[in-house]
Amino acid sequence: MDGQQDFVMRTRGLRKTYVMGKTKVHALQGVDFTVHRGEMIAIVGASGSGKSTLMNIIGCLDYPTGGTYQLDGVQVESMGRNKLADIRNQKIGFVFQGFNLLARTSALENVELPLLYDRSGRKMKIRDKAREALERVGLGDRTNHEPNELSGGQQQRVAIARALVSSPAILLADEPTGNLDSQTSVEVMALFQELHRQGMTILVVTHEKDVAQCAERIIELRDGRIIRNELVRDRRDAALDPVPANPVLQQPAGRA
């Protein structure tokens, strides 16, 4: 049931403790969860619940204090800085709240960026791949625009194209709609759902209920622990995660 190919990532007993002077802050206190291939998951929680810390560790930007983390068949928690950079490049696509595009750099060049740091040695036409990714998010006609010439929604879509371009194992979105108005938020989330339908594994960190409702599964954190991990929408082809005790099926739409 729990075969190697079945899941994209799995954490076991993930802990993170920050030492600030004499006080210790336990941001994560043993987090276990599994993400299956093709799933779309929302991580929710109040501020201070540890979701940013979790995001950083999952995103291979930070090291856990304890526990194990397996990503796409690779044990990540004890890797060196350079290897971790390569993992971020190959296996993870980031989408940030503030878009984080390079200013005064065209959309196309922004999307090309991850490919410039590619060390896998795979042969590819960087420009073509970047253009393809932009077309996938519906910005094929905006390739030469710079971020300040694009709307917020368009900027976020460029960021999504940049996250997609290296064909990562998982898409990590940190409050992707936090800087967008509600109409654009809906559009961006629709794009995520479309990608999800195409088979992309997506993990969204959010505190907005509507956004969380777009996911199939919601993981809720509080004080560094998972207090809820439940399926909110049916998914035909995925096996259930073993952790949730009582998967509750809920009505997904029409609650906004």
Partner 1 sequence: MKSSTLIKVASQSILKNKMRTLLTMLGIVIGVGAVIVMVAIGQGAQSQIQDQINNLGTNMIVITPGSSNQGGVNRGAQSYNRLTAKDAEKIKRESLVVSAVSPVVFSRTQVIGGQGNWRTTINGVSTDYQIIRNWDLKYGRFFDQAEQRQMRRIAVLGHTVWENLYPGQDPVGQSVQIRNVPVVIVGVLEKKGQTANGTDQDDVIFAPYTTVQTRLSGWSRIFQILASTPSTRDIPEAQAELTAIMREAHGLSRWEEDDFTVRNQNDLAEAAQGTTQIMTWLLAAIASISLLVGGIGIMNIMLVSVTERTREIGIRMAIGARGRDVLTQFLVESIVMSVLGGMIGVGIGFISSNVLGQVTGWNTVVSPTTIMIALGFSAAVGIFFGFYPARKASSLNPIDALRYE
Per the structure block, which two tokens stand in for 118? 């590619």
Please list every residue from 85 through 104 that binds partner 1, using CB under 8 A.
Answer: 85-86, 88-90, 94, 96, 100-104
Say whether residue 146 binds partner 1 (CB under 8 A): no
Looking at 36-44, 115-123, 208-216, 244-252, which segment touches partner 1 (CB under 8 A)?
115-123
Query: Whose CA is closest to 114, among 97, 98, 95?
Result: 95
Per-residue binder mask for partner 1 (CB under 8 A), 39-68, x = binder:
-----------------x--x-xx------
SS3 54: helix
Say whether residue 213 binds partner 1 (CB under 8 A): no
Nearer to partner 1, 101 or 204 (CB): 101
| CB-based contact 10:35 (threshold 8 Å) | yes
CA–CA distance, 176 with 54 (Å, rounded to integer): 16
Nearer to partner 1, 45 or 147 (CB): 147
Nearer to partner 1, 122 or 209 (CB): 122
Nearer to partner 1, 81 or 255 (CB): 81
H-assigned helices in 99-244: 107-116, 126-136, 152-164, 182-197, 209-213
Nearer to partner 1, 134 or 218 (CB): 134
Nearer to partner 1, 22 or 104 (CB): 104
CB of 128 to partner 1, least distance (A): 16
Q: Which of 136, 162, 196, 217 touches partner 1 by CB under 8 A?
A: 162
Say whether residue 82 binds partner 1 (CB under 8 A): yes
Strands 40-44 and 217-222, by their bridges, are parallel
Which are the contacts of 205, defined by CB distance < 8 A and separation ≥ 6? 42, 43, 44, 51, 52, 54, 55, 172, 173, 174, 175
Chain-centre distance of CA 130, in angstroms? 20
**In whole angstroms, how large is the CA radius of gyration of the chain?**
18
Nearer to partner 1, 153 or 168 (CB): 168
Say whether residue 116 binds partner 1 (CB under 8 A): yes
Per the structure block, which two tokens stand in for 83? 């290897």
- Count of residues of this chain found to bind partner 1 when the rule CB under 8 A is applied: 26
Per the structure block, which two tokens stand in for 124? 């590819």
CB of 23 to partner 1, least distance (A): 20
CA–CA distance, 102 with 107 (Å, rounded to integer): 9
Residue type, 162: R
CB of 181 to partner 1, least distance (A): 22
Q: What is the binding site for partner 1 (CB under 8 A)?
A: 56, 59, 61-62, 81-82, 85-86, 88-90, 94, 96, 100-105, 113-114, 116-118, 162, 166
